[in-house]
Amino acid sequence: MQTQTLDTFQVIADPSRRQMLMMLSKDSMTINSLAENFDMSRPAVSKHIKILCGSGFISIKDIGRERHCTLKQDGFDELQKFIDYFDKFWSSKLKKLETLLNNKSKKK
């Protein structure tokens, strides 16, 4: 089975997928019961689910004949990784700017 790889930000940029995550944050749900809440075809829902699963936001577990979706940490960790990266990036850049400004005023 080919899993679609989408960047984390693209995954959550879709409002339907965010809504699915929101619903799953209350409880794990079967794909069928999730689909009932969306005005889209079952294959379209499955495609979103596949993307969420492929990017580590949810896991799917087969229980009986039903497929249960549960939130998973990995996708969220990926987001946090980005934020942490840029947070450190800017703090070191702004420090560098301070050094430059200080050096400049020394030269005067």
**Residues of the shown chain interacting with another protein in the complex, contacts defined by CB under 8 A:** 7-10, 12-13, 18, 21-22, 24-28, 70-71, 73, 76, 79-87, 90-91, 93-94, 96-98, 100-102, 104-105
Question: Which amino acid is present at 41?
Answer: S
Question: Which amino acid is present at 21?
Answer: L
Which CB atom, from 17 or from 35, has the smaller least distance to another protein?
17
Which residues is 60 bridged to in the sheet?
69
Rounded distance, CA 8 to CA 57, Å? 9
Smallest gap from residue 33 Cβ to another protein (A): 16
Smallest gap from residue 60 Cβ to another protein (A): 13
Rounded distance, CA 92 to CA 106, Å? 21
